[in-house]
Structure 1
Amino acid sequence: MNTIGQTIKNAREMLNMSQEELAQKVRVGTQTIEKYESGEQIPSNQTLLKLSTVLELPAVELLQQ
């Protein structure tokens, strides 16, 4: 089963989006996206909602681990 970070990375890559582009759209730093994808940091609930919108994923899909 994928972690939140793996799900974010897979969805971002499916949209042919760079980490920098995703960071700009979610309004966080590129390093923050790197930390989410590596599992070093977990997004806040507010950021999860933004990620779900930008990545075109249901929020519940990001939460399933």
Structure 2
Amino acid sequence: MNTIGHTIKAARERRNLTKEELAQKLRVGTHTVEKYESGEQIPSNQTILKLSTVLDIPTSELLKKQNI
């Protein structure tokens, strides 16, 4: 199943960003990015908007198949 974590990771890799670089752009810790990508933690609505901007993908793509 395609989760928000898989979508974030795939988009980050397409943009050639490391987890550290993405964390810096989102102003969160690297561990938080790891939790997002593993599905252990769901980003807040505000963070989803930031992810959309930083990763240049629509929020609808991030939220696909999510129950949030």
TM bucket, shorter chain: over 0.9
Q: Give 4+ residue runs of structure 1 displaced > 2 Å after superposition.
A: none
Shift of 1:2: 1.2
Give the total of aligned pairs.
65
Give the TM-score normalised by structure 1: 0.97
Q: What is the 5 A alignment of 1:9-28?
A: 9-28=9-28
Cα distance in 1, alignment partners of residues 27 and 59 from structure 2: 17
Aligned CA-pair RMSD? 0.6
Cα distance in 1, alignment partners of residues 26 and 13 from structure 2: 16
Shift of 1:62: 0.2
Give the TM-score normalised by structure 2: 0.93
* Correspondence for 2:51: 51
Cα distance in 1, alignment partners of residues 28 and 61 from structure 2: 21
Q: Give unmatched runs, 5+ long, in structure 1.
A: none
**CA displacement, residues 19-55 of structure 1 (integer Å, 9 cap, x when unaligned):** 0000000111000000000000000000000000000
Query: How many percent of aligned residue pairs carry the same amino acid?
Result: 74
Q: Give unmatched runs, 5+ long, in structure 2.
A: none
